[in-house]
Amino acid sequence: MTSVLSTPSLREGEWLRARGARVWRATFPGHLDQVRRARAFVRILLAGTGLEDDAALIVTELANNSLQHTRSGADGGWFGVEVVADGARVIVSVTDQGANSALAWENSGPLAEEGRGLFIVADLAASHGTRTEPGAGHTVWAELIGETGA
């Protein structure tokens, strides 16, 4: 079952970082060819955990969304990827540069050619959510729980 955590006091990965979890971050230029690099970054970090495929797909969807729907895809734009791992729990997140509208988890329908990315994320994740910092963009995160430690 997928749940959305949007409580402002519970930020993605914060509780894992406080426990001494491993944290990796990378920033990528806001170009579509950089999505492949972000996916490879996540795959390498999570290799052998059983979570690398789902995490890579989640990062692909979120990075594509950031480039397509936010200022991250504009000239000089960027997007950030964070991976927080503690045993079998992994949180992957993508931060963009914000947009003029709020994030929407709208269903485009099963036959639509666009608009299914966030639903793929929701389906793969144990939990997921978003955070918007005024003037600083959006962060969309997804928690994965595997059988082996990351």
The residue assigned the tokens 């579509």 is 32
In a domain, 150, yes or no: no
CA distance 92 to 55: 7
Does residue 70 fall inside a structural domain?
A: yes
CATH number of the domain at 8, please: 3.30.565.10
Range of the domain at 68: 3-145
Pairing of strands 3-4, 137-145: unpaired
Q: What is the DSSP string of 25-47?
A: EEEEESSTHHHHHHHHHHHHHHT
Mean pLDDT (10-residue bins), the chain, 150 residues: 36 58 93 97 95 97 94 94 91 90 56 69 92 84 80
The CA distance from 146 to 105, in Å, is 25
Domain count, the chain: 1
